[in-house]
Amino acid sequence: MVALMAVIGLVCGRAIRGLADAYAGRVMADASHDDGPGPVLTSHGGLAPVPAWPPSVELVAAAVAGLVAWRVGPPFVCFAVIGTALAFVDWRTGLLPDAVTLPAYPIVALALVPTGELPRAVAGGVVLAAAYGVLWFLRPDAMGLGDVKLAGLIGLASAALGWQALVVAAFCGQVLGALYGLALLVTRRGSGRTQFPLGPFMLLGAFSVLVLGW
């Protein structure tokens, strides 16, 4: 079963690559038609198409899907694949598109039904989205609404393992993001006002919790 989930992740990786390239192209097109100063581009992954070889996107998707299936079971693989897609898109473009995030809610919820923990999972999604909503309201310059919507999805998946898993996933995401920001400062690649995508670090924190089987 784990091998099958990894193969599914590998196949989905090709679609993830295409999705990330499509949104990167859209960002480039919007920038070329913008006569004003426009928004600050926060992409750290680059907007050029990802080379087909080596198949890095596919291998990452396969690894995440396989590890998550091994540690916590197939019901969480759906979140793993969608989360990987969102991480790649956000890293490359600074966007967490509603067209991916919002439909993921019912899809992930349906996948989690076999766990028997759907009520707690839904409650966890609401709690984490609300917490990030407060952070966004207090500091809208530090994160976007896309991060708030992603937080709900992370809460949905992590709370299915327990409330402690939700807390650890949220904490790890924030710590990883802070460490990356600190690394930018230390290496002088950024300043205290440098913006970067938070979504990949939020998802990395969630994946860490799932893989560790918290």
From first to last of its 214 residues, what are the pLDDT tens digits of the chain? Answer: 788 888 888 899 889 988 888 887 777 666 554 444 443 444 455 555 666 667 888 999 999 999 999 999 999 999 999 999 999 999 888 889 999 999 999 999 999 999 999 999 999 999 999 999 999 999 887 788 999 999 999 999 999 999 999 999 999 999 999 899 888 888 878 776 777 899 999 999 999 999 986 6
pLDDT of residue 132: 95
Tell me the C-alpha to C-alpha distance, in Å, between residue 96 and each of 78, 84, 104, 153: 17, 12, 12, 12
Give the span between the Cα atoms of 25 and 45, in whole angstroms: 13
Longest Cα–Cα distance of the chain, Å, equals 53
pLDDT tens for 76-132 read: 999 999 999 999 999 888 889 999 999 999 999 999 999 999 999 999 999 999 999
Q: Using CA atoms in the order 56, 58, 61, 64, what is the torsion angle rounded to 10 degrees? A: -60
Q: What is the pTM of this model?
A: 0.88
**What was the pLDDT predicted at 36?**
44
pLDDT of residue 26: 76
Distance CA 196, CA 143 (A): 9
Q: What is the pLDDT of residue 12?
A: 92
DSSP 48-108: SPPPSSS-HHHHHHHHHHHHHHHHH-GGGHHHHHHHHHHHHHHHHHS---HHHHHHHHHHH
